[in-house]
Amino acid sequence: MTPLAGYLLVAALLFSIGLAGALTRRNAILVLIGIELMLNAANLNLIAFWRYGPHPEALTGMMFAIFSIAVAAAEAAVGLGLVIQIHRHAHTTDLDAMNRMKG
C-alpha cells in the first residue's frame, strides 16, 4: 500500500466519521463539528495529493487547502452564530425539535 493510499484511506475514514456524526447527532453544534471534520478530511486529501502529486512546486493542492481552511473558519463562525440565534429563538439546539419551516 502506497503512502498516498494510506492518507486517502484515513481521509475517507475521517470523512465518514464526520458524516456519521452529522447524520446521527441531535445537537446542531455537533452536526457542525461533523461537517468541520469532513472539511478537514478533504484538506488532508488535498495536502496528500499535493505531496505525492506530479507537480508539488505548483502548490495547487496546498493553496486549495489553505483557502479551504480560511473558508471553513468563516463557515464555522456563521454556522455557530446561526445556532446561537436559533437557540435564542427556539430555546433548543435539538435538530429533531427544529423541523418547523416557519417562525
Partner 1 sequence: MSDCGPSTIVHLLWLIPGLPIVASGIIALLKQPRRRTAATMSIVSLSISLLLSLAAFAHVLSAWTTRMAVERIHSFDVLRETVNFTWIQFGTSNVDLGCVLDPLSAIMLVMVSFVGLLIFIYSTGYMKYDENYTRFFCFMSLFAGAMLGVVIANSLLLLFMCWELVGLTSYLLIGFWYQKPAAAAAAKKAFLTTRIGDIFFLLGIVWLFSQTGTLLFYNNGAGSIESSSLSMLLTQPAALGLTAAGAIGLLIFAGAAGKSGQFPLHVWLPDAMEGPTPVSALIHAATMVAAGVYLIARVYPLMAAGALAGGTTTALTVVTWVGAFTAVFAALIAVAQNDIKRILAYSTVSQLGYMMAGLGMGGIAVGIFHLITHAFFKALLFLGAGSVIHGCNEEQNIRRMGGLKSDMPLTFLTYAIGMLALCGFPLLFSGFWSKDGILEAAQHWSVAKTPLYMLVFGAFLTAFYMTRQVAYVFFGHWRGGKPAHESPAMMTVPLGILAFFAMALGFLGTPAWPWFRAFLDGRAANFAWSGFMEPGLLTLMATSTVVVFLGIGFSWKLYGDRSPKPSAPDALEKITPMTWGWLSNKFYIDEFYNMTVIAFYAWWARVSDWLDRRVWGGVVAGVAWAFALWARLNRFLDNNIVDGSFDKGCDELSVGGGLLARVQSGRVQTYLRILALAVVALVAILIWSSRT
Partner 2 sequence: MSVVFYLLAALTVAGGLAAMLLKNTVHCALALTVAFAGLALLFLNLDAQFAGFAQILVYIGAVAILVVFAILLTRGSETPKDGVFSRTWLTGLAIAAAVFAVLGWAVIGSARVLPHETAVPAVTVQQIGVALVGRYVLPLEIVGVLLTAALIGAVIVAMHEKVEHEKEEQK
Q: Which residues bind partner 1 (CB under 8 A)?
A: 19, 22-24, 28, 31, 95-96, 98-101
Query: Among partner 2, partner 1, none, what binds residue 44 when CB lies within 5 to 8 Å by partner kind?
Result: partner 2
Q: Which of 42, 29, 24 is nearest to 84 (CA)?
A: 29
Position 52 contacts partner 2 (CB under 8 A): yes
CB of 57 to partner 1, least distance (A): 29
41 CB-contact burial (10 Å; exposed 0-12 / middle 13-18 / buried 19+): buried
Which residue number, 50 or 103, has a Cβ lying nearer to partner 2? 50
Q: What sign does the dihedral 12-18-22-24 (CA atoms) show?
A: positive
